[in-house]
């Protein structure tokens, strides 16, 4: 180790502070001892409520979503100040701010909770102190004055918790949509005009279940996304994260540029369980970034590698930042369909990052880890094999066709069994015994549609092995701490998703999605008409006026996705972008699955796109590098993720699961040439292939790589013609150097 503090691995407290700095979900105010303890145990109870309902049945939608939203209001208004700065985060001890929470925040929390739970209380109607509320069926479409008041409170409170957790960008976008709904007749562009809705009807649409705030977005977040965010945190803190890093060291550390490749592989592993790219960046980057710097990588590049790799976790199956479950819900397809479709596009991203890392290491003359610094396979698996049991159980349940929340229940309970219940603490063995009882009950006829005998046998075996292994366990204090942090992570996701429900409600009410789609395609048609005389002479269908219009439309939609997705959690950005961009893509004839994958990919790219790229900023904090340069490096390293959505839109065969497009020949041709094209572009980005690349040779590799990525046999053949001179020149230059070492 060198004496440079940035070259050493950061300790746990420094990492926690860094994560708080860049992840707004953890940067909360000091509530003092009493309120802090209240919030701590309330969050743990909130986590246990969701785990229990995942396993034993979720209440009806308006009850469950009301409880979830009430919890968000309580935790966010008490934890996040109106204006976040050092003064408001620090404990003040003022009498008028119990627990460092101003009275107006207590009032907002209470009002929001009442509004969220009112539908539960009033579903069957009631008469109370002269207040006569009819049952819900009679109020749908004709809300009472009480509904309007509480609905208004709910809308305002939802926008405010979104602003406090993730910033002002999303609430501003939502306010624009709300204004459009209310002032439709006064829109200056005729195609955007609509009859408009009054405030009573607007609140009716936003407040009552099925659309708006209590729509499918909040339902999926409260029944699936929350659980997987919690699972990622608990599994990582149980030891699975370290197990992933150690195995990445074994797999990639022995090759050129070892630390950077370890960063890519470990982030890909960690992305399979994590719902947060910032958590991924900090957890794996705390080890890999200092090691990359020690090896000789520039700080901004080291941070960029980690940020790009971690952001890739949001598109890596099986969890994909929990967006995979939302996608399955929207498209009404099995979850396994989404997982299979996402495999090859995710591989393309990592091919790009690994290739740039490899050639940059070659150019800089960097080497692998020394053998004595690599962990031993036998020791890593002896010490950590048990940590993978919960992930195996989760995947087995998912791929057996059971609901995602049942899979999360099994994964989370096995995290508790494996990580915290030990044979030398007999009282803790009551938990695996109870889990065995649950598994056998689910396999019995009493439970209705329960587990098959084979699945029950697998889960019972995993439970027994997990409970009885002799490895070191964490304490239950560690378990409660991980629940607490998991709920904190889920607050921003829940707040943003509830707020995005307003956008979805406005789109359903006004039809603006189709109007925007028409505007995009019309604008692209005008641009195509201008470009066609200039490039229409080129061969290929892509250069016809229709081909140019389609490409321009895709570029415009991609740019909108990147801009609108800036700073949003993966699930929230996916919900909003699908609602806004899907109609435009549908008008272009893009298959629905490719449409949803397209908007997810370009939305997630905002994680590494300056100037708003939280993952890159967190990585820059570890690397002590310039944040903007780190963001640029991360964006450059993510070129594969930038290009591959265009490929599967033009050639949906890459997604495998669309039988009308898939043939083995077309799949292999598109996928292999796309991977090769990304590899070729990586040589140009890094400025090295067999030897240093410069000037026209570098440009020819870029052009040839893009032609290979384009899903066309003609462009592939043309690419070979463009690339061949550069490759031949590299081979001859290498031979000259070998023959004349001086």
Q: Computed from CA positions of residues 537, 538, 539, 541, in that sequence, does the dihedral angle turn out positive or negative?
A: negative
Tokens of 510: 């006004």
Burial grade of 378 (CB within 10 A; 0-12, 13-18, 19 or more): exposed
Mean pLDDT by 10 residues, the chain (742 residues): 39 60 70 91 96 91 93 95 83 80 94 94 82 84 90 95 87 90 85 84 87 86 87 85 84 79 82 70 78 81 85 78 79 86 90 88 80 83 88 89 87 91 85 92 78 91 88 85 89 88 86 79 85 77 79 86 74 80 80 90 78 76 83 84 88 92 92 93 88 85 90 87 89 77 54
Phi, psi of 133 (to 5 degrees): -110, 115
Q: Computed from CA positions of residues 86, 608, 601, 668, in that sequence, does the dihedral angle turn out positive or negative?
A: negative
Q: Does some domain include residue 81?
A: yes
For tokens 């159980």, the residue is 393
Tokens of 277: 């790219």
Q: Does some domain include residue 101?
A: yes
**Boundary residue ending a domain (188, 217, 246):** 217
Tokens of 223: 């029944």
Q: Does some domain include residue 685?
A: yes
Q: Does some domain include residue 260?
A: no
Which DSSP state fits 126?
E
Which DSSP state fits 127?
E
Q: Does some domain include residue 273?
A: no
For tokens 């796109």, the residue is 609
pLDDT of residue 4: 37
What is the enclosing helix (H) or strand (E) of 482? Answer: helix 476-510
pLDDT of residue 537: 76
Q: Does some domain include residue 117?
A: yes
Tokens of 58: 């979720």
What is the enclosing helix (H) or strand (E) of 235? Answer: helix 226-235
Tokens of 88: 């408001």
Choose among 174, 146, 42, 168: nearest CA to 487: 42
Chain center to CA of 123? 35
Distance CA(412)–CA(431), nearest Å, equals: 12
What lies within 8 Å, CB to CB, of 104 at 6+ separation is: 82
Phi, psi of 96 (to 5 degrees): -85, 5
Q: Does some domain include residue 711?
A: yes
Choose among 224, 254, 241: nearest CA to 319: 224
Distance CA(300)–CA(632), nearest Å, equals: 9
Give me the long-range contacts of 83-92 (CB less than 8 A, separation at least 24).
84/24, 84/27, 84/164, 88/29, 89/27, 89/28, 89/29, 89/30, 90/29, 90/30, 91/29, 91/30, 91/31, 91/32
- Cα-based angle 342, 347, 350 (whole degrees, multiple of 5): 130
Tokens of 427: 């009282």
**Boundary residue ending a domain (160, 186, 217):** 217
Give me the long-range contacts of 203-206 (CB less than 8 A, separation at least 24).
203/143, 203/147, 203/148, 203/151, 203/152, 203/155, 204/140, 204/141, 204/142, 204/143, 204/147, 204/151, 205/505, 205/508, 205/509, 206/151, 206/154, 206/155, 206/501, 206/502, 206/505
Asked whether the beta carbons of 276 and 229 are under 8 A apart, the reply is yes
Asked whether the beta carbons of 58 and 64 are under 8 A apart, the reply is yes
What lies within 8 Å, CB to CB, of 329 at 6+ separation is: 216, 220
Burial grade of 542 (CB within 10 A; 0-12, 13-18, 19 or more): middle
Distance CA(96)–CA(104), nearest Å, equals: 10
* Concatenated DSSP letters of 717-736: HHHHHHHHHHHHHHHHHHHH
pLDDT of residue 655: 93
pLDDT of residue 271: 72
Tell me: the pLDDT tens digits for 87-145? 888 887 777 788 889 999 999 999 999 999 999 988 888 887 777 888 888 888 888 89
The residue range of the domain holding 717 is: 674-742
**Boundary residue ending a domain (193, 217, 241):** 217
Tell me: the pLDDT tens digits for 491-540? 988 898 899 889 888 888 887 877 877 788 888 888 888 888 887 777 66
Look at the chain and report how many structural domains it folds into.
2
pLDDT of residue 8: 41
What lies within 8 Å, CB to CB, of 20 at 6+ separation is: 26, 27
Which DSSP state fits 225?
I
CA dist 309 → 22, 438, 482, 639 (Å): 17, 38, 24, 12
pLDDT of residue 367: 76
pLDDT of residue 5: 35
Choose among 67, 702, 627, 665: nearest CA to 299: 627
Give start and end residues of each alpha helix (H) in 589-712: 592-604, 614-623, 627-637, 639-650, 664-686, 695-709
pLDDT of residue 412: 93
Distance CA(335)–CA(347), nearest Å, equals: 19
Q: Does some domain include residue 693?
A: yes
Asked whether the beta carbons of 236 and 244 are under 8 A apart, the reply is no
pLDDT of residue 24: 61
Asked whether the beta carbons of 147 and 203 are under 8 A apart, the reply is yes
Which DSSP state fits 130?
T
pLDDT of residue 1: 35
């Amino acid at each position: 180790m060198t004496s440079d503090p940035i070259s050493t691995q950061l300790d746990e407290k420094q990492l926690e502070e860094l994560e708080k700095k860049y992840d707004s979900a953890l940067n909360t105010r000091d509530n003092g001892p009493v309120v802090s303890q209240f919030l701590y145990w309330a969050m743990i109870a909130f986590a246990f409520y969701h785990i229990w309902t995942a396993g034993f049945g979720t209440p009806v939608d308006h009850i469950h979503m009301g409880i979830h939203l009430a919890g968000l209001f309580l935790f966010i208004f008490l934890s996040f100040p109106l204006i976040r700065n050092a003064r408001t985060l620090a404990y003040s001890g003022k009498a008028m701010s119990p627990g460092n929470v101003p009275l107006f925040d207590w009032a907002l929390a209470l009002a929001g909770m009442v509004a969220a739970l009112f539908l539960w209380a009033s579903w069957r109607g009631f008469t109370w102190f002269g207040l006569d509320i009819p049952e819900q069926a009679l109020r749908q479409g004709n809300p009472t004055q009480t509904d309007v008041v509480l609905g208004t409170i709910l809308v305002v409170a939802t926008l405010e918790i979104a602003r406090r957790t993730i910033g002002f960008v999303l609430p501003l976008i939502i306010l624009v949509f709300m204004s459009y709904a209310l002032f439709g007749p006064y829109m200056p562009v005729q195609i955007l005009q609509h009859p408009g809705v009054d405030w009573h009807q607007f609140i009716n649409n936003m407040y009552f279940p099925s659309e708006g705030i209590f729509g499918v977005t909040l339902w999926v977040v409260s029944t699936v996304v929350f659980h997987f965010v919690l699972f990622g945190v608990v599994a990582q803190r149980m030891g699975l994260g370290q197990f992933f890093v150690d195995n990445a060291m074994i797999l990639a550390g022995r090759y050129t540029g070892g630390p950077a490749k370890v960063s890519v592989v470990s982030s890909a592993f960690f992305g399979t369980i994590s719902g947060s790219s910032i958590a991924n960046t900090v957890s794996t980057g705390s080890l890999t970034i200092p090691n990359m710097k020690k090896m000789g990588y520039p700080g901004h590049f080291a941070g960029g590698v980690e940020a790009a790799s971690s952001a890739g976790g949001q598109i890596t199956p099986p969890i994909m930042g929990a967006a995979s479950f939302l996608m399955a819900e929207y498209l009404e397809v099995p979850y396994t369909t989404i997982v299979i479709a996402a495999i090859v596009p995710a591989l393309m991203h990592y091919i790009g990052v690994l290739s740039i890392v490899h050639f940059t290491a070659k150019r800089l003359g960097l080497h692998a880890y020394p053998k004595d610094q690599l962990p031993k396979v036998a020791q890593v698996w002896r010490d950590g094999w048990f940590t993978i049991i919960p992930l195996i159980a989760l995947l087995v349940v998912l791929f057996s066709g059971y609901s995602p929340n049942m899979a999360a229940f099994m994964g989370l309970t096995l995290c508790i069994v494996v990580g915290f219940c030990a044979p030398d603490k007999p009282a803790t063995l009551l938990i695996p015994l109870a889990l065995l009882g649950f598994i056998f009950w689910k396999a019995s006829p009493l439970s209705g549609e329960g587990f098959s005998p084979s699945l029950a046998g697998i889960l019972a075996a995993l439970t027994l092995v997990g409970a009885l292994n002799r490895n070191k366990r964490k304490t239950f204090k560690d378990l409660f701490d991980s629940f607490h942090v998991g709920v904190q992570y889920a607050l921003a996701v829940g707040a943003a998703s509830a707020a995005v429900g307003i956008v979805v409600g406005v789109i359903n009410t006004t039809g603006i999605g189709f109007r925007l789609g028409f505007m995009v395609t019309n604008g692209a048609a005008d641009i195509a008409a201008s470009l066609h005389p200039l490039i229409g002479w080129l061969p290929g269908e892509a250069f016809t006026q229709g081909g140019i219009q389609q490409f321009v439309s895709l570029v415009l939609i991609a740019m909108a996705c990147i801009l609108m997705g800036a700073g949003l959690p993966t699930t929230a950005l996916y919900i909003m972008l699908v609602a806004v961009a899907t109609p435009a893509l549908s008008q272009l004839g893009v298959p629905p699955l490719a449409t949803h994958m397209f908007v997810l990919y370009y939305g997630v790219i905002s994680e590494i796109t300056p100037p708003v790229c939280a993952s890159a900023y967190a990585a820059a904090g570890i690397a002590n590098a310039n944040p903007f340069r780190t963001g640029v490096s991360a964006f450059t390293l993510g070129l594969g993720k930038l290009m591959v959505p265009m490929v599967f839109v033009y050639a949906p065969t890459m997604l495998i699961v669309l039988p009308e497009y898939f043939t083995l020949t077309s799949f292999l041709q598109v996928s292999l040439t796309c991977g090769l094209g990304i590899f070729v572009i990586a040589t140009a980005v890094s400025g090295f292939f067999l030897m240093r690349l410069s000037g026209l040779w570098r440009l020819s590799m870029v052009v040839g790589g893009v032609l290979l990525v384009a899903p066309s046999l003609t462009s592939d053949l043309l690419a070979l013609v463009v690339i061949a001179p550069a490759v031949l020149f590299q081979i001859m230059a290498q031979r000259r150097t070998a023959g004349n070492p001086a």
